[in-house]
Amino acid sequence: MHLLVNCSNCHTPLQLPPGAKSIRCALCQAITHIADPRSIPTPPPHQPHDYHSTSVPPPSPPSPYNHAPPGPPPTVHGRKKAVICGISYRYSRHELKGCINDAKCMRYLLINKFSFPESSILMLTEEETDPHRFPTKQNIRMAFYWLVQGCQPGDSLVFHYSGHGSRQRNYNGDEVDGFDETLCPLDFESQGMIVDDEINAAIVRPLPRGVKLHTIIDACHSGTVLDLPFLCRMSRSGQYVWEDHRPRSGIWRGTNGGEVISFSGCDDDQTSADTSALSKITSTGAMTFCFIQAIERGHATTYGSILNSMRSTISGTGNDLGGGPVTSLLTMLLTGGSLSGGLRQEPQLTACEPFDVYTKPFSL
């Protein structure tokens, strides 16, 4: 059961992780202390809710057979929120050079191309001056809670991650390939990785009808790191088929009626490049670069056109030198064939429901 509490300072609704006695607001940084939930009385019906002193009934679990609640369409809200996480693992043996550049460029893209308000983008990098915005395991978890809190129909959410990914043996039989995919926070060696099951529970399953979430995951072994039920398997010629990755256990890995679509840097058994081959001056994650470039070149009309553009760039067949301000921010564009044979990765598309990738318009 999750409790909702209002921030003691700015009154933003916050979702309290299980067992937590206090919570820090990702927006204003105020700490709200929580009384023992077992001692909090339930308010009488139709009374105003003060989440400092009342409990909230747990939401009913989504049915795996009915993905959208019945009733009239909900009122459209239309807010945009994003969490952008770039981890360089500086001064460690795991250091990556392109990930903070990825984060900055994704932020620029969301603000200038897709009209995301600056105040609604939560940045987690080692360059942040606030220690609560370092990309540690706990801070990433809190960012997940912040991203989905209070979401309403019409809202558009984005999670971008550039950093290390890994995989570990799965023992409960709910992974087709026998492995859980993971993200590696800054402190993963001491605090552990963030497993795909947790990511799914935090930002996929809570999404109500009318809310959409896009994730862009530039990491190794990231193909199904959100544990979404369906993976779009696309051939080099652009033909595709949706693979069913629903676990044999019958556990529902989709949403509570919302829509989630994820672009990832490579398949579960592949590694992603942190490369300067894409740029003569600065390093960037290959997948993030190709995603931004596809949008700026006008190849983002549909999900299929984005995926094909990204794959042609990764394979070294995208020789068109056109670009826009974000690829300029990344400095120089790809030179023809410079990646050919150099990267063993193919960007992947996963989703909570199958759809026609060549007719569904892309929008954030």
Strands (E), 296-342: none
Backbone φ, ψ for residue 144 (5° rounding): -60, -50
DSSP-assigned letters across all residues of 160-185: EEES-EEEEE--SS--TTSEEEEE--
Count CB-CB contacts under 10 A for residue 317.
Answer: 13
For the question of residue 220 being annotated catalytic, the response is yes
Q: 68 to each of 65, 227, 255, how far by Cα in Å?
A: 9, 19, 9
Annotate 273-295 with b (16+ C-beta within 10 A) or e (fewer). bbbebbbeeebbbbbbbbbbbbb
Helix H or strand E segment including 242: strand 240-244
Q: Output DSSP code: residue 236.
A: T
Helix H or strand E segment including 291: helix 286-296
Distance CA(338)–CA(318), nearest Å, equals 10
> Ramachandran region of residue 150, left (φ > 0), alpha (ψ -120 to 50) or beta?
left
Catalytically annotated residue among 25, 151, 160, 164: 164
Catalytically annotated residue among 25, 99, 184, 220: 220
Q: Output DSSP code: residue 254.
A: S
Query: Catalytic amino acids?
Result: 164, 220
